[in-house]
Amino acid sequence: MANLKTNYMGLKLKNPIIAASGPLTSNLDSLKKLEDAGASAVVIKSIFQEQIDKDAISTMEMDDAFLAHADAYGFLLGASEDYFIDQYLTLVEDAKKALSIPVIASLNGSGSADWISEYAPRFASCGADAIELNHYEIGSNYKLDGKQIERNYIKFAKIARKEIKIPLALKIGSCFSAPANIMHQFDFLGINGLVLFNKFYNPDIDIETLEMKSGNPLSDNNDFYDTLRWVSLMSEELRLDLCANTGIHSSSTIIKMLLAGASTVELCSVLMKNGVGVIETFLKEINEWMDRKGFNEISDFKGKLAQEAMVDPTVWERTQYVKSIHNIGK
């Protein structure tokens, strides 16, 4: 029986499978089911900036960025007082009492970082083992150039790092003109983990009612390639830990992410589609694979297929691309 323990931002986890922030991590019952199913940590459903920052609430409906909040969209439409800050902190505290696995609190915001300095210390003192900040900005405002958006991210990360003394992860999207550069900046600021990548809201259109509607929020099993690319490119380049997210629907994809250098994975859609019981199946299959390959511990193979720090990443990426194009149809 292999040892699946892994270290993520200083948290000692019994295996690499974390339950991602989402509907299944929004109440105590469901959190306990995730622990029983074998999850090594849980990220509590986010509290949104729009719920706690009065300025954001009043401007929200006038702002196009509102539509860009994938994970918030349906949720915000029905947002009630139940979700305000005290309830959130109570849920984190209750989860800490009820579970023996680490509990990660999650804040989801965008734009300027001023609100985070006001609220972050309260989150840090509610007993959470770590905080995951989902900074959500997709560049839909034509008045902001890329530099300004990156400055927003960096300011957000800087303030959060200053205010939050416990392990801190940023959950980001891949919409940067230079993802490697900004990941390095986060690393330099002392962020402990990066969750790659956030899944943005999918807009859709109902052609009968002629209205905008929400597309399917769940990923499918082909959505993991972008994550695999960046985990593989960056894992040897950064001191911080990487958590792979989006489109991870099988034990083989989890193994790929670990081989690329991820310390952990976060799962949401597959748990919603197939039930939390898949965690146990995945753990069993990872165990069997490790036995078959002669690996005793995750560290025996973690990062084995990461792009080496010394090689020029541009050349590596280009070589893989040319190889793949060349092989099509052979």
Ligand X SMILES: Cc1cc2nc3c(=O)[nH]c(=O)nc-3n(C[C@H](O)[C@H](O)[C@H](O)COP(=O)(O)O)c2cc1C
Task: Return residues touching ligand X (CB under 6 A).
Answer: 20-23, 45-46, 71, 106, 108, 134, 171, 198-199, 217-219, 245-248, 267-270
Q: Which residue has the tokens 């509290």?
A: 47
Smallest separation (angstroms) from ligand X to the CB of 20: 3
Q: Which is nearer to ligand X, 192 or 295 (CB)?
A: 192
DSSP E strands in 177-314: the ranges are: 193-196, 203-206, 211-214, 241-245, 264-267
Please answer whether residues 298 and 4 qualify as being in contact, where contact means their C-beta atoms are separated by less than 8 angstroms: yes
Give me 306's structure tokens. 């990461």
Cβ atoms within 10 Å of 166's Cβ, excluding its own: 18
Smallest separation (angstroms) from ligand X to the CB of 170: 11
Q: Which is nearer to ligand X, 56 or 295 (CB)?
A: 56
Give me 107's structure tokens. 């804040």
Taking each helix axis from N to C terminus, what angle separates 114-124 and 85-98, rounded to the nearest 10 degrees? 30
Q: Which helix (H) or strand (E) holds 11?
A: strand 11-13
Start-to-end C-alpha separation, the chain: 40
Three-state SS at 140:
coil
Q: Which is nearer to ligand X, 25 or 232 (CB)?
A: 25
Q: Which of 190, 173, 185 is nearest to 135 (CA)?
A: 173
Smallest separation (angstroms) from ligand X to the CB of 27: 13
Q: Which is nearer to ligand X, 23 or 313 (CB)?
A: 23
Smallest separation (angstroms) from ligand X to the CB of 244: 10
Q: Which is nearer to ligand X, 276 or 295 (CB)?
A: 276
DSSP string for 26-78: SSHHHHHHHHHHT-SEEEPPPEEHHHH-HHHHHHHTT-THHHH-TTTHHHHHT
Smallest separation (angstroms) from ligand X to the CB of 278: 11
C-alpha 166/C-alpha 160 separation (Å) is: 10
Q: What is the dihedral of CA 140, 144, 147, 151, to 10 degrees?
A: -90
Smallest separation (angstroms) from ligand X to the CB of 148: 23
Give me 112's structure tokens. 């300027």
Q: Which is nearer to ligand X, 88 or 295 (CB)?
A: 88
Smallest separation (angstroms) from ligand X to the CB of 228: 13
Q: Which is nearer to ligand X, 20 or 259 (CB)?
A: 20
Smallest separation (angstroms) from ligand X to the CB of 326: 30
Q: Which is nearer to ligand X, 246 or 307 (CB)?
A: 246
Q: Which of 243, 241, 245 is nearest to 268 (CA)?
A: 245
Q: Which is nearer to ligand X, 224 or 295 (CB)?
A: 224
Q: Which of 297, 153, 182 is nearest to 240 (CA)?
A: 182
Smallest separation (angstroms) from ligand X to the CB of 134: 4
